[in-house]
Structure 1
Amino acid sequence: MTAPRGEGIIAGLARGQRRLLGAGIAVGAAGVVTTLAQPALLAGLIQAAGQGRPLTGPIVLLVALFLADAVLSSSQGVLIGRAGENIVRDTRVLLSGRVLRADLAHLDRQRMGDVHTRLVGDTSLMKVSLTQSLAQIILNGMVVLGCVAMMAWTDPGLMLFTLACLGVAAFGGVGLARALRRAALANREDTGAFGADLQRVLTALPTVKGAGAEDAEQERLAGLADRARASGNRVTVLNALFTPVLNVGLQASLAAVLGIGMVRVATGTVDPAAFTAFTMYLFYLVSPLVVVFISIGTHLQGRAALERVDELSRLPQEDAGVGAVAAPAPPVPAGGDRPAVELRDVVFAYGDRPVLDGVSFTVPARGLTALVGPSGAGKTTVFQLIERFYRPSGGSVLLDGRDIARLPTSDVRGRVGYVQQDSVAMTGTLRENIAYGAPDATDNDVREAVELAGLAEVVASLPDGLDTLIGDQGNGLSGGQRQRLCVARALVRRPEVVLLDEATAHLDAEAEGALRDSLRRIARRCAVVAIAHRISTVAEADRIVVLEGGRVRAVGRHTDLLREDGLYRRLATAALVHDPSGEAPGTPEPTGSHSSGVSV
């Protein structure tokens, strides 16, 4: 059995339980000694009976050995079981942390349902591989070796004949064990694929229902379930063959050995008491030998799970390679503070699909900066690079003059608050949701964030105020209320930069106007960068960056861009048609056809 690549991390966790595992093995080894002593004592009991000696002492000793064997076996099972549970717990905690801190560019290549299967199902199977099956192999292997040694001491010739017969039986078991490992690995992969697709469907269930795609999705899931069933059946068949093949071989060997032994007893070549002891050791050998091979099969199935778990533990981490010292700050621009954010010739692609090509612009330390451009221009990607969800393939992103590639992730995200377009609220109270990323936030901090996000009236109208419970995904709040809740969550950490990706998308005109007022207050103390679909929000920006085709097309204020840039004029005109808040200052009346799929 070859060790899976990179097994060191999980094996290190197993080594952390070496005291429990060692104690379990030691107790089990003591049990092996009591087991091996029983045939010898039984042979002595037979001899004592034949010679007319008292039998009370040997019988009491045998009963004591039986009881000790039972106690030691139970204790060994408890110790090994506890070690296994500890390893599973430590592995799940380790892997959860590595998944949470994984580099998104690599994590995106994983299917989340498969990640879930590895964290839950594969870790349980891994426990069997690292603890129970290994312990069974070691302890029952000790019994087998001990029995062989005692049989060799009793009758070397008969022992060699026995080993030859058992070797033939074991040969078929080894081949089945290898096939079982391959089948088990395939089954874990198929089960992970089913779990991944099931999670995809459950996550998008409203969309599935709205599209009437229940039958299509059920058929797709049924196909994946069929694959998992087929590979599971292969595992079942191999498992079912494994024990009978061994048993047939062992029983044939046992019959041959007993036949030859009885002939030798009849001819006087072997003493009856010695043959009785030899036969007892042979019977004691058979069951542990079967357990060893079964445990090898179980261990191989667990190793298949272990390979998948360890593969997850090798996910590249966000802070991997981040230097301890930040890059030197550039000179402070004349006539003002250093920019809060600066992009310098940034290039980025999702796989083979280029998104940004040489993007450069700055965000002042205070004020509102708007990003506008057609769909697919790269606006959200810019935000994800500033948050360091992804790393640019060229150029650099600077935060307060320092390259974020050389800053710890916690430092970057402590300075930058991010409100996504599809914001997520979690099960719990409003207070817990707002203070989610700032557990040390005071009541005053929470209430200030509520005020700035325009959520105060909503909180006042709720029966328990900030202690009102909301359901999963923010059930119980409207879309606009969830959005403002997420804005408050970003503000409570007092970031230096606030990124708002379509933060007004779910707000009506009145709520959007209130949030605009909040943005003006927020922009007085930090930098605010917004992607907005309403011209009324963009028109009030201190600086507007126009993106097109992954490049910066123009930078300026609303009135200047209306006059100087045709794309911005078209975007502004199209947005005004759909903006219920009314005409923005300096915006011409819409004429002609309207663009679609735009964001300003």
Structure 2
Amino acid sequence: MTTTTTATTTGSTTTAATTKTAATTPSTATSTATAPRGLVAQLTRAQARFLTGGVLLGILGVASTLVQPQLVAHLIEAVGRKEPIALLVTLLAVLFVADAALSATQGCLIGRAGENIVRDARVLLSGRVLRADLSYLNTQRQGDVHTRLVGDTALMKIALTQSLAQILLNGLIVLGGVVMMALIDVWLLLVTVGCLGVASVASIGVARGLRRAALVNRADTGEFGADLQRVLAALPTVKAAGAEGREEDRLAARADTVRRSGNRVTVLNALFSPVLNVGLQASLAAVMGIGMARVATTSLSVAEFTAFTMYLFYLVSPLVLVFLALGTYQQGRAAVQRVDELAGIPQEDAPAPDGGSGTAPAPVPDASGRPAAASPAPDGGHPAVEFRDVGFGYGDRTVLDAVSFTVPRRGLTALVGVSGAGKTTVFQLIERFYRPGRGAVLLDGRDIAHLSTAEIRDGVGYVQQDSAAMRGTLRENIVYAAPDATEADIEEAVELAGLTHVVAALPDGLDTPLGDHGIGLSGGQRQRLCVARALLQKPAVILLDEATAHLDSEAEAALRDSLRRIARRCAVVAIAHRISTVVEADRIVVLDEGRVRAVGTHAQLVRDDALYGRLAAAQFADGARAGAAAEAAAGTPSGQPAVGVAG
């Protein structure tokens, strides 16, 4: 019984990633939780029932195959003695049919095991990527991660099931055939083994070279895929910069590299059959010559020579398949290695064992920047968010240094500062995308180091600066964080986010489909969609990172009104470059070079803090000029107030 499999090498990459460890002095802790080593082996063992069944059926098929030449020899002898042959012919026919049935069933079982392994690997790896430590994942090429999940798992299936099954079963045929040939004539067997041995050693050398070449080719292919994904993700920028030609040349260079390494794999693959065939042809020629001479001298019967020759022919296909399967397995080993590496991607840490709460609030700066004791929340509970002497950085670059402040359980708290002051990093620490190098971040009085990610993100709604929206309907995007939300809750979130008129104007309302990245909505509408999504979570804290960046003055005014209403029910923390967005904030935290410079209201900070005063004065001056320009364009009579930035 022989089994044939065609394997297609799927491209991937092995990208040497340097982990960007978020760290200050001391270094920020990075999650090192990894999957058990040998994940692929575990998944394979889980399919032991199908694999064992397939192998057992294959062994029966091997036995059926090895018996056939002996029956043919008996048939020849029976014909020579003029004995009845009906039983022998019938038995041979039954063996032929059984061989085919066993082969088909064995192939189905092995194939099913392979599909199960791929499914389990993709599900597990997808989960580990989704729960990966973000600081580590951001250092990886996303195209490489995608290729490992799709291409490497497919090649892994072939290596772990079909290739191994072929090596085992066809190897048994070869071994059994050699034993049967030895029983017939040892000298002819030695001639055969001598010729095949040289070819086999050469083939093993080719197989080793093929594995190395396949690893390089998969790395090159993955680099091409990663570069292609990079370009597609930024295609509007590429077009706007007129960089199509440069990117085309870059991709062409990557494709040339893949071609060169692929050609080496092709050459080594192509060498398998010729190298082995030389040995087979030499064996066949020697056996035919020596065997016929011995038949002529009657030292070997015609029936024995026929059986020996049949076994030799039976060895040809299985032996070729064994070495081809070895080649495929060598390529698949590279995929298995890469899948195991992806399975070991660091995960977000689980809660600390003690699950303890934070202690009393640390001192926070007052409006003048001097430390002052933090007051408890108005309702007597803990602050919604508290930073205690937090330090954080990337490598040697400090981003936050000894940052301490609190966010009340109700009201609007704004983070203000020049670009690079660390405002977005504060949000990422609250979400525990990264961990502080020192100090602690508390939610409702509990250190987030001791909370699960589910507890943190159920209680914190996050509206990102880039207004992430996905392909799907508007409704699917809004309920993404709360899939079981009621219609009443959805309507309330839509109204609070200022999306009511937008939804009413869409052809299918909430069921209007959006393209990739929310295509179909303007930038400002996508931002309000994300606000509605966060509101639907009903979190204790909502983080708004530049939520008004893409809004016009009218939309910004509407969102400010919404924020006032939202802030009555939960804590709202907003990052804003526009001072007009936060002039009515209950508390404004001014960050400067990674430190809390001042805390207070707009009026207090304009009076007491020079940096905030300069920021406010510059923006209101810009707003006044814009208002004057609008007044002139509209022909507003002198002396009448123009609509400008709120101040």
Q: TM-score, normalised by structure 1?
A: 0.93
2:307 is the alignment partner of 1:277: yes
The equivalent residue for 2:254 is 224
2:197 is the alignment partner of 1:173: no
Percent identity reads: 69
The equivalent residue for 2:274 is 244
1:537-576 alignment runs, 5 A limit: 537-576=581-620
Contact 1:102-1:316 at 8 Å conserved across structures? yes
Instruction: Give, in angstroms, the shift of residue 157 of structure 1.
Output: 3.1
The equivalent residue for 1:498 is 542
**Contiguous gaps of at least 5 residues in structure 2:** 1-13, 15-34, 362-373, 628-646
The equivalent residue for 1:104 is 134
Rounded to whole Å, the distance in 2 between the matches of 1:348 and 1:315 is 22
Rounded to whole Å, the distance in 2 between the matches of 1:459 and 1:499 is 24
The equivalent residue for 1:15 is 45
Contact 1:534-1:579 at 8 Å conserved across structures? no
The equivalent residue for 1:267 is 297
**Contiguous gaps of at least 5 residues in structure 1:** 584-599
Contact 1:327-1:406 at 8 Å conserved across structures? yes
2:174 is the alignment partner of 1:144: yes
**Of 97, 102, 118, which aligns to 2:148?**
118
2:357 is the alignment partner of 1:328: yes
The equivalent residue for 1:39 is 69
Rounded to whole Å, the distance in 1 between the matches of 2:217 and 2:580 is 56
Instruction: Give, in angstroms, the shift of residue 362 of structure 1.
Output: 1.3
Contact 1:98-1:315 at 8 Å conserved across structures? yes
Larger deviation, residues 284-293 vs 154-163: 154-163
Rounded to whole Å, the distance in 2 between the matches of 1:225 and 1:349 is 38
**Of 371, 376, 379, which aligns to 2:423?**
379
Q: What letter corresponds to residue 307 of structure 2 in structure 1?
A: A
**1:202-233 CA deviation, whole Å, 9 max, x = no partner?**
01000000011111111111111111111111
The equivalent residue for 1:473 is 517
1:352-371 alignment runs, 5 A limit: 352-371=396-415
**Of 148, 152, 157, which aligns to 2:187?**
157
Contact 2:414-2:589 at 8 Å conserved across structures? yes
The equivalent residue for 1:187 is 217
Name the SS for the 2:401 alignment partner.
Answer: strand
Rounded to whole Å, the distance in 2 between the matches of 1:411 and 1:358 is 26
Rounded to whole Å, the distance in 2 between the matches of 1:445 and 1:370 is 26
**Higher RCO (CA-CA < 8 Å; seq separation 6+):** 2
Contact 2:417-2:577 at 8 Å conserved across structures? no
**1:357-397 CA deviation, whole Å, 9 max, x = no partner?**
22221111111111111111111111111111111222221
Name the SS for the 2:398 alignment partner.
Answer: strand
Instruction: Give, in angstroms, the shift of residue 335 of structure 1.
Output: 5.0
Contact 2:376-2:383 at 8 Å conserved across structures? no
Q: What letter corresponds to residue 508 of structure 1 in structure 2?
A: D
2:118 is the alignment partner of 1:84: no
Rounded to whole Å, the distance in 1 between the matches of 2:149 and 2:208 is 25
Name the SS for the 2:417 alignment partner.
Answer: strand
Contact 2:376-2:382 at 8 Å conserved across structures? no
Contact 1:113-1:196 at 8 Å conserved across structures? yes
Q: What letter corresponds to residue 469 of structure 2 in structure 1?
A: A
**Of 348, 363, 373, which aligns to 2:392?**
348
Rounded to whole Å, the distance in 2 between the matches of 1:42 and 1:433 is 71
The equivalent residue for 2:317 is 287
1:453-472 alignment runs, 5 A limit: 453-472=497-516
Name the SS for the 1:552 alignment partner.
Answer: strand
Instruction: Give, in angstroms, the shift of residue 354 of structure 1.
Output: 2.5
Instruction: Give, in angstroms, the shift of residue 192 of structure 1.
Output: 0.8
Rounded to whole Å, the distance in 1 between the matches of 2:402 and 2:258 is 47
Instruction: Give, in angstroms, the shift of residue 260 of structure 1.
Output: 2.4
Instruction: Give, in angstroms, the shift of residue 582 of structure 1.
Output: 8.8
Name the SS for the 1:505 alignment partner.
Answer: coil
Name the SS for the 1:392 alignment partner.
Answer: coil
Larger deviation, residues 162-171 vs 409-418: 162-171
Name the SS for the 2:440 alignment partner.
Answer: strand
The equivalent residue for 1:257 is 287
Instruction: Give, in angstroms, the shift of residue 101 of structure 1.
Output: 0.6
Contact 2:414-2:575 at 8 Å conserved across structures? yes
Name the SS for the 2:441 alignment partner.
Answer: strand
Instruction: Give, in angstroms, the shift of residue 578 of structure 1.
Output: 4.2
Contact 1:454-1:514 at 8 Å conserved across structures? yes
Name the SS for the 2:538 alignment partner.
Answer: coil
Name the SS for the 2:293 alignment partner.
Answer: helix
Name the SS for the 1:371 alignment partner.
Answer: strand
The equivalent residue for 1:304 is 334
1:410-489 alignment runs, 5 A limit: 410-489=454-533
Contact 1:377-1:547 at 8 Å conserved across structures? yes
The equivalent residue for 1:526 is 570
**1:338-362 CA deviation, whole Å, 9 max, x = no partner?**
1111112222222343322222211
**1:392-413 CA deviation, whole Å, 9 max, x = no partner?**
2222211111111221101100
The equivalent residue for 1:594 is none
The equivalent residue for 2:642 is none
**1:106-159 CA deviation, whole Å, 9 max, x = no partner?**
111210111111111111111101111011011101101111111122223332
Rounded to whole Å, the distance in 1 between the matches of 2:99 and 2:155 is 28
Instruction: Give, in angstroms, the shift of residue 73 of structure 1.
Output: 1.1
Aligned length: 580
2:83 is the alignment partner of 1:53: yes
The equivalent residue for 1:400 is 444
RMSD of Structure 2 on Structure 1 (CA):
1.9
Rounded to whole Å, the distance in 2 between the matches of 1:209 and 1:577 is 35
Q: TM-score, normalised by structure 2?
A: 0.87
The equivalent residue for 2:636 is none
Larger deviation, residues 185-194 vs 330-339: 330-339
Instruction: Give, in angstroms, the shift of residue 70 of structure 1.
Output: 1.3
Q: What letter corresponds to residue 98 of structure 1 in structure 2?
A: R
Q: What letter corresponds to residue 402 of structure 1 in structure 2?
A: R
The equivalent residue for 2:634 is none
Name the SS for the 1:374 alignment partner.
Answer: coil
Instruction: Give, in angstroms, the shift of residue 294 of structure 1.
Output: 0.6
